Amino acid sequence: MAIDFKTFHSVAFHVLNSRFPVILRGRHGIGKSEIVYQLEEQLKYTDGVIERRASQMTEGDLIGLPSINGNSTVWNPPDWFKSACDQPVLLFLDEIDRATPEVRQGIFELTDSRKINGHVLHKDTVIVAAVNGGEHGAEYQVGEMDPAELDRYTVFDVEPTPEDWLTWAKDKVSGVVWDFINNHRNHLEHNDSFEPNKVYPSRRSWVRLDETLQMACLLEDKMNDPAIFILSQSFVGFEAAVKFKDFAANWERQVSLEDIIDNGKFELVADFSINEHGAIIEKMEQKEIFKDALTDTQRDNIAEYMSLVPGELAMKLFTNFTNEIVNLQDEDKIGEIVKFMEHRLKEKDMLVKDYLVDLIAGVNEKEKE
């Protein structure tokens, strides 16, 4: 079973305190490296991270090189391994499932006995490895890890939530990128099977796109430069780029759900098009706002907003509201529908239930025509 990053932090900490090796398995671009560095900050006994990419290592890079000492041959460890023996560090071995068999055999000894060729890790040095394998292994050109190899680790399959990324990225990416992901979470990353040679969004690629756009000063003024789409397509793929281009061009006109539901700032949407209203209603559906208990103010504001949008969207909003509550099968929540229907709309000076009757009647008249 895959766990999110918050859960991983809470449990992996205890494993590392026991000095047992940990391995993270998950898709590319989800932030495995970042979480390792965050984890090291939690440890009170390590002095930084030593990161080695096993896929780029030769056997000598791991076990060191021999030299003659009198009548004996001695092994001289590489500088990074000597540091891990002399002082407590978090030793991060990335992409070990892409390493050569010789390197993996050396890592096998390291995780099993905490030493290589007689050189022993510091007693407080901890080992964390990362791979793209696990349940997603078939999508990558990586070597399988056999049971004996896996038995040397405590294995965690990680599947971070959008909230994990949004929390981390709040002060690390621009407002427009953060808002886009917050409102279009399905574009944060690709979760289905991958087509060969097609560019897909990932948590990593959104950060790199943001850095590029900021360096190019393209996230200023109206943000309608054609280069935004070209760069976005290169980093996160066509589908996400189309959505992001439109979002960025209209970012100053973006209205939060809090503006509508909590504060009733309907003047902000007075000149919105049907597509812009549709985006707000889609946002409500994506965030599943109707699953939580609504205050009287929130419920009344939703009703007032419903009366301002085109009829077909009003019906969609009402259907989303009622279906979500009915699906919960909560008698207390069912009462919210009754209160909603009895609310008197300020602009139209009529009850919601009467307004809906008029809408349905109007639809029926159009169908007759």
CATH number at residue 58: 3.40.50.300
Does residue 281 or residue 327 have the better pLDDT?
Answer: 281
Same domain, 166 and 152: no
Same domain, 50 and 128: yes
> How many separate domains does the chain show?
3
Q: What is the mean pLDDT of residues 290-312?
A: 88
Q: What gap in Å lies between CA 39 and CA 252, rounded to an integer?
A: 37
Same domain, 261 and 236: no
User: What SS3 string covers 185-222?
Assistant: HHHCCCCCCCCCCCCCCCHHHHHHHHHHHHHCCCCCCC
Q: What gap in Å lies between CA 185 and CA 252, rounded to an integer?
A: 20
Q: In whole angstroms, how far apart are CA 243 and each of 50, 177, 228?
A: 39, 11, 11
Question: In the listed set 230, 253, 276, which residue is the last one of a domain according to the structure?
Answer: 253
Same domain, 236 and 279: no
Same domain, 300 and 194: no
Which residues span the domain enclosing 213?
Answer: 162-253
What lies within 8 Å, CB to CB, of 76 at 6+ separation is: 64, 65, 66, 67
Q: Report the run of H or E that residue 286 belongs to, with start and end.
A: helix 274-286
Taking residue 170's Cβ as centre, other Cβ atoms within 10 Å add up to 11
Same domain, 186 and 247: yes
Q: Across the strands, what pairs with 22?
A: 128, 154
Same domain, 146 and 183: no
Strands 119-120 and 115-116: antiparallel
Same domain, 15 and 97: yes
Least confident of 130-139, 213-222, 344-353: 130-139
Yes or no: say if 154 and 23 are a contact pair by the CB < 8 Å rule.
yes
Same domain, 109 and 55: yes
Q: Is the pLDDT of residue 334 over 90?
A: no
The whole model's pTM is what?
0.65
Question: In the listed set 214, 233, 253, which residue is the last one of a domain according to the structure?
Answer: 253
Q: In whole angstroms, how far apart are CA 281 and each of 28, 187, 224, 247?
A: 32, 18, 25, 15
Q: What gap in Å lies between CA 245 and CA 22, rounded to an integer?
A: 40
Same domain, 71 and 96: yes
What's the mean pLDDT when you consider all of the chain?
87
In tens, the pLDDT along 54-106 reads 999 999 999 999 898 888 888 899 999 999 999 999 999 999 989 999 999 99
Q: What gap in Å lies between CA 225 and CA 230, rounded to an integer?
A: 10
